[in-house]
Structure 1
Amino acid sequence: MIEETVTARLERAHLLDHPTTPLLWVVLDEAVLRRKTGGPVVMAEALWHMAELIRKHRVIVQVLPFSAGGHAAMISALKLMAFTDAPSLAYIEGPEMGLLEDGPAIVARHALAYDLVGASALSPQDSLALIESVAEDYAHEDQP
């Protein structure tokens, strides 16, 4: 099961290189960068890859720094999806379930929460600088 999940995730990652990929704009909590998963080499490689995607303009990333404190989207992961030919959707993901919302008022509330979090986050340029700095820290962590 884990192997299938990893394979599927790697296949989805290639979608970011396709010229017709929709815009992906992400606000990441700084904890995502700092919580070591898989060791320093894995973290450095993952962050360098993220930086490369940002530099290729395939994604926009903003980092919500620890200094921002609590925020409107702390409870769960949120995905907002806007379409040219269909109503917008909000997908709220929890530990054991996900909820897809299509009601305009509910989607608007989630969009406002996202906007408030984004307003507290670093700019895309400052976020890229932080991502590269943290990657560099991980890359040198095992060196004497």
Structure 2
Amino acid sequence: MASHMPVNHSLRPLYRGLALLAGLFVLAFGLLGYLDSQGEPLLNQGDASALGLKTNPLFSYASIGAGAAVLLATLVGRNLDRFIDMWVGAGFLLVGTAMLALMHTDSNVLNFTMATCIVSYLIGSVLFTAGMYVKVGSAAKAVAEEKHRHGTA
């Protein structure tokens, strides 16, 4: 799979912009969730919410960390964003799946609802897709990748 990642894709700026917006959303959600859930237990399954999604202090802290990582990586670029976007995107997809399975149990440690699972899948999909298309390299590397992809190497 990794051997077929496009280098210097023509839509790279679009994907970087989408990753930046996703990072801003996650960071804003985390900060607003932190403000709304202050004073609650770390794993509380209460009524704290941010941007229309339920949260708790642990989920807010994790969102602040993930959002900051995506934003910083996107601003730095140089293939760091590719690495971070793919791992954080995969993390959002895995956490969304786990919380979907645990939603109506006492193990719902992140206070997820169905809406939170859907948003987690959307953010994960955007970040993972962006990670596949933001790879940069020399012009020679881009030409070699195109030849490899089209079987003319």
**TM (normalized to structure 2)?**
0.29
Which structure has the bigger radius of gyration?
Answer: 2
Q: Which has the higher contact order (CA 8 A, sep 6+)?
A: 2
**TM (normalized to structure 1)?**
0.30
Larger strand proportion of the pair: 1
